[in-house]
Amino acid sequence: MRILLSAYACRPNAGSEPGVGWNWATHLAARGIEVHVLVAKRNQEPIEAGLRANPIANLHFTYVPVPYEWVKKSEALHYVCWQVAALKAARELASKFEFHLAHHVTYASVHVPSQLWRLCIPVVFGPVGGGQTAPASMLTYFGAEKPGERLRSTLTKALRFSPLHRRWLRRMSFVLAANRDTLNMVRSVGCTESSLMCDTAIPTDYFAERPRNFEERGGALRLLWVGRMLTRKALPLALDALEQVHNNVTLTIAGDGLDSQTVHQMVRDRNLQHRVFWKGSRLTWTELRTAYAEHDALLFTSLRDSFGSQLLEAMAMGLPIVTLDLHGAHDWVPDRASLKVPVGEPEETVRNLAEAIEQYALLSPRQKNQMSTHAWDFAKTLSWSARAELVDKLYQDVLTRAASVENAATKAATAGV
């Protein structure tokens, strides 16, 4: 089988969207599929360096530049323009190779659907998110960004009425949605061939050897908060909750995105200087994996996220989760591996989160061990190799359906003659 993979973000040894693109490309190729990848040209150097170090059969890259220098100032605009350039590159490739189908994997947003359906071949779109919106009750945590977030929510809710999105999404052979919010949206525009699929996975060599043993731990309960300090990730919400926790609990922040003065001021404002620890920069992949191993639970406070790769990374290391009960975290984090916090008004949500932290702190080592085992076992089902196998089967189903429709159309045309 020969496929065309659309992966705007794609780099080896990377996390987030670039890591997702790279893992799709390499794991599909490992299954014997001939994979031609359309990727933003800015990824060329790290990709070629990675392939020199570890050549991969069946894998070919086409680096697609965006011809307009001025669009680099906006990532969103750069991505839209790249989609146009990628379609042109795809048509050139299609004149040289016969592709059985196309699959778009990054960026994974339903707001800007792939245009590869214009090649007149079957297209798999996703897993994509973007159909989720931040709870209106919690917009106070967006501060100066509140008007922009409210506008995004309005536009997201309006997607189901957009004639362009209705037309584009219906042209997909199959849509994989990263969370139920997005799945409901794509089905509302008529995409019956759609299902849920988590938008990230874990390499098989990443997992801890076994689940956590909390009998070996003592002292303070050590919470870990991981992620770029974007407004929607709601780090202040985590600090507000910790301020109300009376048990012996500390919080380590692993991430960047705000200047150190701002972060330290947030901590001082809540008198948490002796309970909150921050390195001041982003952790390396190895450092982050070590941090998962050294802490007792992951605290996840994002107010808008398709899922959150740190949730799966933590579970792969046997780390239980304390999370807001929203979006991808609601859909994918097992109840037996987590404490899920209902979201209401800000004061109520902070109180609920603080109570969940205290509840977790009071669990026995045996109860925490059980949560760790459930987390670790679930993460095993979301390895990249398992994901590639599942999508390989989906490709076969899509192609079978496409052949059936083509045969039916041929018979109808023949009968008409």
pLDDT digits (tens, 9 = 90+) for 375-394: 999 999 999 999 999 999 99
Q: How confident is the prediction for the chain on average, in pLDDT?
A: 92
pLDDT beyond 80 at 70: no
Averaged pLDDT, 263-291:
89
pLDDT beyond 70 at 416: no
Token couple for 414: 């023949």
Residue 69 confidence class, pLDDT cut points 50, 70, 90: low
Higher confidence at residue 287 or residue 140? 140
Provide the pLDDT for residue 412. 61
Averaged pLDDT, 31-42:
95
Kindly write down the DSSP assignment for every residue of 121-178, as one continuous string. Answer: S-EEEEEEB------GGGGGGGGGGHHHHHHHHHHHHHGGG-HHHHHHHHT-SEEEES
Q: Go through the domains of the chain in sequence order and give each one's CATH number.
A: 2-201+383-416 (3.40.50.2000), 214-380 (3.40.50.2000)
Torsion sign, CA atoms 130, 133, 138, 142: positive
The span from the CA of 277 to the CA of 294, in Å, is 13
Where is average pLDDT lowest: 35-39, 93-97, 211-215?
211-215
The span from the CA of 325 to the CA of 343, in Å, is 7
Averaged pLDDT, 345-369:
96
* Strand residue runs (E) in 356-414: none
Give the chain's radius of gyration (CA, Å): 23
Residue 82 confidence class, pLDDT cut points 50, 70, 90: very high
Residue 358: Cβ within 10 Å count:
16
Provide the pLDDT for residue 405. 72
Residue 41 confidence class, pLDDT cut points 50, 70, 90: very high
Token couple for 7: 């992966």
Spatial CA neighbour of 86 closest among 56, 118, 130: 118
367 φ, ψ to 5°? Answer: -65, -40
* Strand residue runs (E) in 201-290: 221-226, 249-254, 276-278
Task: Name the DSSP class of 317.
Answer: T
